[in-house]
Chains A and B, each alone.
Chain A
Amino acid sequence: MAEQTAAAVAGRGNPRNRELWLLVVAVLIVAAGLANVDLTVSGAVSAISIRISITIAAAALAAHVAVRLRAANADPLLLPLAVLLTGIGTTVIHRLDLADELRAVSRGEPVPTAKAGAQATWFVVGAAAMALTIIAVRDHRRIQRYPWTLTLLGLVLVLAPLVPGLGRTIRGATLWVSIAGLSFQPAEVAKVVLTIGFASYLSRHGRALGALRARVLGIPFPRPRDLGPLLTVWALSLSVLILQRDLGTSLLFFGVFVVLLYIATEQRSWPLIGLLLFSAGATVAWSMFAHVQVRVALWLDPFTGDGTSQVALGLYGLANGGLFGAGLGGGYPQLVPFAESDFIFASLGEELGLVGCIAVLLVYAVLVSRGLKVANTVRDRFGLLLAAGIATVIALQTFVVLGGVTRLIPLTGLTTPFLSSGGSSLVANFIMVGLLIRMSHAARTPAAATGSVAYADIAAPRHDTGQPTQIIELPTAEPRR
């Protein structure tokens, strides 16, 4: 019976072929969406839509070839899900381009630069970055060697916008760096680098931090000196918040570190401590900063005043969408500020309705679950932490942004992963997908077939607590699912 099932699973063929079919489906959905926008708004499919569809198809195909050549056993869902989300985002951005164009024409103003074409180009860059990641990182375990370097690099990146002459403040948050006319958000790159750094550090020292010696109110607590790393990250997150006024990024970094700490130490007290520290930090931030107080006040009552706060405008859009949405091209998403970036989910919800919102949420959920599956099946500790970290970054970031837009939590400025207009975020997210694909390939490749020695956990080095080096996950007869 088990053998039959195994045969049946194996009989489903090469995962790369499945990936290719899923990519075809994803690209077709996006092309249909773009055509739908054009037909509703202007009655004819535009050249730009055709160009975007072809660009996305070509870049996706190239990325697929890279995966086929260098990570043939990887999970076939990861790339198509990322491409689908990016394509949906580009479709919404294109729809907003058309609205902006109509408005400009009707007012006799110059037509603003279309953003959808640029987003498609950024997808090409993202796909290339993903392919390069897969090609350059032949074994993901190699990148765990530099925990301090990477963490430091991450911090430099996060704080880079504060350097005079380099940083640019947009909408009250100092998040951008401008070099030679090109501006990007280093925090997006930092989130990749820091996740690798956190995973590297915790795969080495996690178990030591997990040694619980103290007891507070009967709950086992870490030794005070083990609190050091968490307090350090907490302090850094707070300084990001204070110096850059960026609530979202600081929350994201801290959250990822706490989750990884919990997984690495297997101690439930860490999330508890993390929550306490977060509450303390949030309270301090609220009492100190007017802009945080404004955010909280608008969260509690978004319809205050004339009812045109950002949150309220987003909610009007979502409410107009209803169950099935106004249809692509049928709503008024351009009435929402930052409709193509921070509030892209409100634009999507207006035209695709609750059904479309839930569908996109489920795409995120499947992507995150596949990330956690990589964490669960990869044979080394660093891989486990890195995959879980990447899944957590995507999940937390999505939750914080969408929760803010839908008034579940106060609004913070973060991009919606894969959907939002903007290159830095897209490229960073595709590098993370590349890392997941790399680790997924390792996890799904029988150990013997890799030609390397048994998967000794090289993340248990000399500094460790004296536990024996583990031999984990010897190849078994059972095929992986």
Chain B
Amino acid sequence: MNKQIGRIAVSFIVMLVALAVNLSFIQVVGADSIDNRAGNRRNLLREYSRERGAILVAGSPIASSIATNDTLTHLRAYVDGPAYAPVTGFYSFLYGATGIERAENPVLSGSADTLVIDRLQQLFAGRKPRGGAVALTLSPHAQQAAWKALRGRTGAVVAIEPSTGRLLAVVSSPSFDPNTLSSHDAIGIKKAYADYLADPEQPMLNRALARTYPPGSTFKLVTAAAALATGKFTADTVIPGPKTYRLPLTTKDLNNWSKSACGPGGKVTLARALAVSCNTAFAWLGNEVGADALQAQARAFGFDFAAKVPMTAAISRFPGDPDEPQTALSAIGQFDVRATALQMAQVGAGIANGGVVMAPHLVQEVLGPDLSVLTRAKPRALSTAMTAANARTLLEMMEGVVARGTGGNARISGVRVAGKTGTAQTQPGTPPHAWFVGIAPVENPQVAVAVVIENGGGSAEVSGNRLAAPVAQAVMKAVLAKK
């Protein structure tokens, strides 16, 4: 062999080996560290390429992945998108994910630790990796009933199964269609997103979990619970319920909605005061039990605490260190008291469950890709807000609200329904928010529901009954009909 050609050949072999060794470093030894760099769009595409697990309600999917022919390979599709949007959230390659799509992403995308066995099986079977499914606690009947009842209004509904904390309905209106944000059409997604953001109705705002409102008279349940807890008050204790209540240290008078005294001679029983939603009686009662006791009672129901359902809900607040007039206003759910619909449903559920507040949750089961159950939610007590006896007392007082008081529109024939209306003033000139907290049936509560309707119109206490109570009634009916 020509000596020079031999040497050239050797140098070519050196070049070949250099390329091969370098490739081994890129493709095998250092592949993971290169792979996980920020500029690598493959990570996102890979998440899309996996068949994302479904979100199930009562066994049927409300969100699922459909195979497509484009580069993202799977399209997220939602059934009844707007009705379930406050729960599912959306899953968008431009705007990320929200709701259950975000909170349960490790399971849905298949990267959760609980799915490690499935991943190994998929690897050995040579199947394409798939995500696990998430089964929700929602009752499709309750959800649909709430969605229909809220249609055309701005507000929210949250329904809880009192004995477990399962969320049966979580609805926010107006809503958005997650299908428009989960499509693969970048321009369409951007337009839809911009439109939703520009909409003054704020359709992407989760009014059930993420927005707090003044709870108004529904907060009287907390004040009543605090009063019962002192041991100095029973349902039949007669308390002052005059036409007006002079706020301590001020010259301002607090009125009743009826512009009259709540009982003969300005005297009224605690039960009657709740039934007619007597502002003067509860304002007085607030200062009688004290701000500290009110705050402790509110916290026992879940105020000042960020619930994870698993999405983190907005924190409901009882104002810190109010003075006497502020305490009086706080006792009737005004001043700086703020509560989510979830929180007020939780108050109802705690009363319905013998005083024990169960942790509210949306995820019933985590399922593997083959729909085998991997984990199942265990009901967990969050706190004991009341004694069983006091809870029973308060529940029966609430029955009086529906049977003989301000909440007549929540009545269901043949069912003992308990409830509390609320009308929360916001700014002067703006119609108040209409509230209703309902429980049914009284003898064995299956559902506690809170309804809030923003700026519902009307200036009287009756607006809670007129607007919110029928929605609560529809949801309770739906839950009970299913049983």
Contact = CB atoms under 8 A, between A and B. Distances in A.
Given A335-B42, A403-B22, A407-B22, 14 more contacts: A312-B37, A312-B39, A315-B34, A316-B39, A318-B23, A319-B26, A332-B42, A361-B20, A375-B5, A376-B1, A376-B2, A392-B8, A406-B19, A407-B26
Nearest to A108: B185
A318 B12 contact: no
A478 interface: no
A105 interface: yes
A99 B71 contact: yes
A369 B9 contact: yes
From A262, A307, A316, A368, residue with most partner B Cβ within 10 Å: A316
Interface string B352-382: 0000000000000000000000000000000
Given A106-B70, A319-B31, A322-B31, A307 B37 contact: yes
Contacts of A388: 5, 8
A332 B41 contact: yes
Interface stretch (A213-221, A351-359, A425-433): A351-359
A321 interface: yes
Contact of B22 (A316, A334, A408): A408
Contacts of B186: 107
A395 interface: yes
Contacts of A376: 1-2, 5
A303 B8 CA distance: 35
Interface string A71-82: 000000000000
A478 B185 CA distance: 71
Contacts of B68: 106
B69 A316 contact: no
Contacts of B19: 361, 399, 402-403, 406, 408
18 contacts: A99-B71, A106-B70, A307-B37, A307-B38, A316-B35, A316-B39, A316-B40, A316-B42, A318-B26, A320-B42, A322-B27, A332-B45, A335-B41, A349-B27, A354-B28, A365-B13, A399-B19, A407-B26
Interface string A104-133: 011110000000000000000000000000
A414 to B, nearest CB: 15
Contact of B26 (A308, A315, A384): A315
A306 interface: yes
A358 B23 contact: yes
A372 interface: yes
Interface in B423-457: none
A372 B9 contact: yes
A256 to B, nearest CB: 11
A395 B20 CA distance: 14
Majority SS at the chain B contact face: helix
A102 interface: yes
Given A263-B5, A402-B19, A408-B22, A303 B37 contact: yes
B134 to A, nearest CB: 28
Interface string A347-383: 0010001100110010011001100100110000000
A359 B219 CA distance: 75
Contact of B5 (A106, A334, A372, A408): A372
Nearest to B12: A395
A388 B4 CA distance: 10
B96 interface: no
B238 to A, nearest CB: 73
Nearest to A263: B4
Contacts of A315: 26, 34
B58 interface: no
B3 interface: yes
A319 B27 CA distance: 4
A369 B22 CA distance: 22
B30 interface: yes
A465 interface: no
Interface string A327-347: 000001011000000000000
A323 interface: yes
Given A105-B70, A361-B20, A376-B1, A318 B27 contact: yes
A285 B34 CA distance: 30
Main secondary structure of the interface of A (DSSP, over half): helix
Interface string B179-191: 0000011100000
A353 B2 CA distance: 36
Given A312-B39, A395-B12, A319 B71 contact: no
A322 B26 CA distance: 8
A274 to B, nearest CB: 12
B112 interface: no
A259 interface: yes
B123 to A, nearest CB: 13
Interface string B10-50: 00110110111011101110111011011111100100000
Contact of A263 (B8, B38, B41, B72): B8
A106 B23 contact: no
Contact of B39 (A307, A320, A354, A392): A307
Contacts of A365: 12-13, 16
Contacts of B39: 303, 306-308, 312-313, 316
A301 interface: no
Interface centre among A103, A353, A395 (most CB of B within 10 A): A395
A185 to B, nearest CB: 24
Contacts of B26: 315, 318-319, 406-407
A361 B1 CA distance: 24
A319 B36 CA distance: 10
A307 B42 CA distance: 13
Contacts of B27: 318-319, 321-323, 349, 353-354, 357
B37 A384 contact: no
A392 B1 CA distance: 17
A469 interface: no
Nearest to A262: B4
A22 B87 CA distance: 62
A376 B13 CA distance: 17
Given A42-B69, A263-B2, A372-B5, A319 B30 contact: yes
A334 B71 contact: yes
B4 A103 contact: no
Interface in A384-409: 384, 388, 392, 395, 399, 402-403, 406-408
A408 B13 CA distance: 15
A266 interface: yes
A266 B7 CA distance: 11
A105 B3 contact: no
B236 to A, nearest CB: 70
A52 B230 CA distance: 88
A266 B3 contact: yes
A384 B20 contact: no
Closest 5 CB pairs of A and B: A307-B39, A106-B70, A319-B34, A319-B31, A308-B39
Contact of B185 (A107, A308, A368): A107
B40 A406 contact: no
A270 to B, nearest CB: 10
A361 B2 CA distance: 24
